């Protein structure tokens, strides 16, 4: 059954104060192996640095540092989940540990975020091709994460980066807000519930999320839709709203809840509208049809008489300032799919697009010498037990979806 808009109660966190960069870590040697050279990015809770490997010439890594008091070891949990989700398009965890009152995560160095790359392209045809090829990979990343019983919960352009130097491979990052939606031991889905506190980015989150409803796979898929529309058009109907956080939240929710899919996707290929209609129709526990959603973007490429060849327009734009950055080992993805003959053929949109549904487990090196596997397994077991206990405690009425 559906709720009226007036009866919707919105629960949200107050806006988080921006994290101050920890400049004291510049030039510091981490774990005796990595020397920090400069700051790459500053997020709301942590600082990301570029660091060179002291034992391997011309190799660089990214180091994320966060105060231990920030959201109760949030970076530690992110490291656990990132290791658990290891696979194609997931940054590799190289090392994790503590330095004084800070958690330190060493991981794969990636390239630019996709929003910066799309903003630099003003040619609509090549931009649409880029978007379709990116969308197919993004859906594949989310399908893989969902197959590991996890929902991401913070889909936004800043959380999708290209590889370095292989910019044809798109990575998904920032797993600090991820949660398990299903027990990996029993396969039981979390139950439907309301009055949940909001987490994530409200510009891209689903309508259900803003209504305080428990997140599931459908919410990740809806967020992807908003993100893709923004990447190709450069905006969304609720962008530019000013005022205090609570007021902006309420205004964005009203626009999202009332705008039609046709108006939201105005001027775009019909496949965008089909995407949004489908993901908004999903039930709380329903399995998304990832193949159908990927097929929509293959269809756009087919109509454009183009191919899924991984020749993104930004490949020529990305030129590292230092030649040393070019010495990274070529990624497995590029080796296997970069010159494959399937990308020189037209796509039959009636068939399931299986071009990038590779066996991730056999292709990726998962070695993690400094990671305490016993602690990690204990953490994952705890998450499973928490889900099972929650299922037992809830009554039968909690399984009713308001959709």
Number of domains in the chain: 2
Place of tokens 């949109």: 349
103 occurs within a structural domain: yes
- Range 174-207 burial, b when 16+ CB lie within 10 A, else e: bbbbbbbbbbeeeeebbbbeeeeebbbbbbbbbe
- Going by C-alpha positions, the residue among 183, 145, 137 that lies closest to residue 161 is 137
Instruction: Please identify, among 87, 109, 131, the residue that sits at the C-terminal boundary of a domain.
Output: 109
Instruction: Specify whether 168 is located in the same domain as 100.
Output: no
Residue 85 in 3-state DSSP? coil
Question: Closest Cα partner for 223 from 269, 282, 270?
Answer: 282
Q: Is residue 163 part of a domain?
A: yes
Token duo for residue 396: 């039968």
Overall residue count recorded for the chain in this entry: 403
> How far from chain centre, in Å, is Cα 227?
11
Q: Residue 95: which CATH number?
A: 3.30.200.20
Residue 359 lies in a domain: no
Query: How far is residue 394's CA from residue 403's CA, in Å, rounded to a whole number?
Result: 19
**In a domain? residue 349:** no
| Tokens representing residue 362 in the block | 């056999």
Residues in a beta bridge with 61: 51, 108
Indicate if 92 and 147 belong to the same structural domain: no
Tell whether 265 is covered by a domain.
Answer: yes
Domain stops at, among 77, 109, 141: 109
Give the structural domain span for 41: 23-109
**pTM score of the predicted model:** 0.77
Please indicate, yes or no, whether residues 126 and 210 belong to a single structural domain of this protein.
yes
Smallest CA-to-CA distance from 268 within 155, 170, 127 is with 127
The answer to the question of residue 343 being in a domain is: no
Same domain, 150 and 176: yes
Domain identity same for 282 and 145? yes
What CATH number is associated with residue 134? 1.10.510.10
- Cβ pair 38, 26 in contact under 8 A: yes
**Do residues 128 and 76 share a domain?**
no
How many other β-carbons are positioned within 10 Å of the β-carbon of residue 243? 10
pLDDT of residue 74: 81
Which three-class secondary structure state does DSSP give residue 346? Answer: coil
SS3 state at 108: strand
322 belongs to a structural domain: no
Q: State residue 176 phi and psi, 5-degree precision.
A: -65, -25
Distance, CA of 107 to CA of 210 (rounded, Å): 32
Task: Give the residue numbers annotated as catalytic, written as ranges.
Answer: 154
Which of 274, 303, 332 terminates a domain? The answer is 303
392-to-191, 194, 285, 332 alpha-carbon distances in Å: 10, 17, 17, 43
**Residues 172 and 73 reside in one and the same domain:** no
User: Cβ-count burial of 218 within 10 angstroms (0-12 exposed, 13-18 middle, 19+ buried)?
Assistant: buried
Domain match, 92 and 198 both: no
First to last CA, the chain: 6
Looking at the structure, do residues 74 and 149 belong to the same domain, yes or no? no
Q: How far apart are CA 50 and CA 311, in angstroms?
A: 27
Q: Residue 58: inside a domain, yes or no? A: yes
The reported pLDDT for the residue numbered 20 is: 58
Q: Which residue, chain included where needed, has tokens 């950055």?
A: 325
Do both 64 and 133 map to the same domain?
Answer: no
Both 60 and 200 in one domain: the answer is no
CB atoms within 10 A of CB 11: 12
Tokens of 321: 């300032």
In the numeric block, which tokens belong to residue 105?
Answer: 């995560």
pLDDT in tens, the chain (403 residues): 444 333 344 433 333 334 556 688 999 999 999 999 999 988 777 899 999 999 988 899 999 999 887 545 688 888 999 999 999 999 999 999 999 889 999 999 999 999 999 999 999 999 999 999 999 999 999 999 999 999 999 999 999 999 998 999 999 999 988 999 999 899 999 999 998 988 889 899 999 999 999 999 999 999 999 999 999 999 999 999 998 988 999 999 999 999 999 999 999 999 999 999 999 999 999 999 999 999 999 999 999 999 999 999 998 655 544 433 333 333 334 333 433 323 333 333 333 333 333 333 222 223 333 344 444 445 555 555 655 565 555 434 444 445 5
60 and 207 assigned to the same domain: no
Are the C-beta atoms of residues 179 and 151 closer than 8 Å to each other? yes
Q: Determine the Cα–Cα distance for residues 198 and 210; give it in Å rounded to an integer.
A: 7
DSSP labels, 237-287: TTTT--S-HHHHHHHHHHHHHHS-HHHHTTTS-HHHHHHHHHHHH--TTPP
| CA gap 195, 214 in Å, rounded | 8
């Amino acid at each position: 059954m559906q709720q009226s808009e007036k009866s919707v109660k919105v629960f949200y966190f107050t806006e988080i104060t921006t994290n101050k960069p920890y400049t004291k870590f510049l030039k510091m040697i981490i774990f005796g192996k990595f020397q920090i050279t400069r700051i790459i990015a500053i997020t709301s809770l942590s600082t990301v640095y570029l660091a060179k490997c002291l034992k391997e010439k011309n190799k660089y890594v990214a180091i994320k540092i966060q105060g231990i008091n920030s959201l109760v070891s949030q970076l530690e949990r992110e490291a656990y989940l990132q290791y658990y989700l290891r696979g194609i398009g997931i940054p590799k965890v190289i090392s994790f540990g503590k330095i004084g009152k800070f958690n330190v995560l060493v991981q794969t160095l990636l390239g630019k975020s996709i929003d910066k790359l799309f903003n630099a392209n003003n040619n609509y045809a090549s931009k649409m091709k880029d978007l379709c090829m990116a969308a197919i990979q993004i859906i594949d990343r989310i399908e893989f994460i969902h197959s590991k019983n996890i929902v991401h919960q913070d889909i936004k352009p800043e959380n999708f980066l290209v590889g370095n130097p292989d910019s044809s491979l798109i990575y998904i990052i920032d797993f600090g807000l991820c949660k398990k939606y299903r027990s990996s031991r029993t396969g039981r889905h979390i139950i439907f519930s309301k009055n949940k506190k909001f987490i994530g980015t409200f510009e891209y989150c689903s309508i259900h999320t803003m209504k305080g409803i428990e997140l599931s796979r459908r919410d990740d898929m809806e967020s992807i839709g908003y993100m893709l529309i923004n990447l190709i058009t450069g905006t969304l109907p609720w962008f530019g709203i000013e005022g205090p956080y609570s007021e902006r939240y309420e205004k964005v929710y009203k626009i999202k809840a009332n705008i039609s899919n046709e108006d939201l996707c105005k001027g775009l290929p019909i496949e965008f509208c089909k995407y949004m209609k489908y993901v908004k129709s999903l039930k709380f526990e329903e399995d998304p049809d990832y193949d159908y959603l990927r097929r929509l973007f293959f269809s756009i490429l087919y109509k454009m008489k183009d191919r899924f060849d991984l020749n993104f327009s930004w490949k020529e734009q990305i030129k590292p300032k230092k030649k040393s950055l070019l010495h990274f080992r070529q990624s497995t993805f590029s080796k296997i799919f970069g010159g494959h003959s399937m990308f020189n053929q037209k796509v039959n949109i009636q068939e399931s697009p299986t071009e990038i549904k590779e066996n991730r487990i056999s292709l990726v090196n998962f070695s993690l010498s400094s990671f305490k596997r016993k602690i990690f397994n204990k953490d994952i077991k705890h998450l499973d037990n928490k889900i099972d206990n929650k299922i037992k405690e809830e009554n039968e009425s909690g399984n009713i979806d308001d959709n």
